Structure 1
Amino acid sequence: MIKKLLFILLLSVSFIGFSQEKSVESLSTAPNPFTNSTKITFNSTLDSSIILTVRNVLGKTVFSKSYKIKAGKNSIPFYKNNLAAGMYIYSVQNNKNVISKRFVIK
């Protein structure tokens, strides 16, 4: 009987631990590829602050900035500035999770 209770307890604890709700989701850019600017959009389930980071394909951080976001749909304009043409990985990070995707600068 004790083994069954321990098993059920372990199962319920692992289920709760692995079913954490994501607070940032549906990350995308449009247009992609782009020449001068693009818009990074995502949904957030709560008001928070995020860090937008852009890295080149070698992993070097070429852009990083903090933003305050609101619950719901958010969009951040991103300008090429002095970045060379090529593929980049961008990520949105808050205190709970990190979502990364890629975009191409023509």
Structure 2
Amino acid sequence: MAKKKLLCTLLLATTFMCAQKNKTIKELGLKYNPFRIETKISFKSIRTQAVTLSVIDILGKSILIDKIIAHKGMNNIAFKHNILSPGMYLYAIETSKEVLSKRFVVK
């Protein structure tokens, strides 16, 4: 029984480590959260690649879909809004293999 637990733990740890190695986008965040008019979305890319920035309201309606080229290293995207009502929104960076998302609040 102890051998099975050890094997399962080893398998899960190996799977987790392999999944971490395949990530191409890391450190997704905002400079200001909550914000009123403008913020900066930042993320780190391990290589130059095409990504899609999406902003979605809490009901699932797409507010913004923007395709950009992310360069290796830190990337910053200025985000100004003039149509968003105060509330919570989701933002996501999507590559061909993964999606990272977080939320932000507009005051």
TM-score by length of 2: 0.81
Amino acid at match of 1:73: M
Instruction: Provide Cα deviations, 1:53-83, integer angstroms capped at 9, x if missing partner.
Output: 0000011111110111111010101111211
Structure 2 CA distance, aligned partners of 1:105 and 1:32?
Answer: 8
In percent, how many aligned pairs have the same letter? 37
Matched, 1:80 2:106: no
Residue-pair matches, total? 93
Amino acid at match of 1:90: Y
Amino acid at match of 1:19: C
Report the equivalent of 2:66: 65
Matched, 1:92 2:93: yes
Report the equivalent of 2:27: 26
Deviation of residue 19 (structure 1)?
A: 1.4
Which sections of structure 2, spanning at least 5 residues, go unmatched? 1-10
Tell me the C-alpha RMSD between the 2 structures.
1.6
Structure 2 CA distance, aligned partners of 1:62 and 1:23?
Answer: 25
Structure 2 CA distance, aligned partners of 1:49 and 1:81?
Answer: 26
Amino acid at match of 1:102: R
Structure 2 CA distance, aligned partners of 1:25 and 1:43?
Answer: 5
Contact map agreement 1:49 1:66 (CA 8 A) in 2? yes
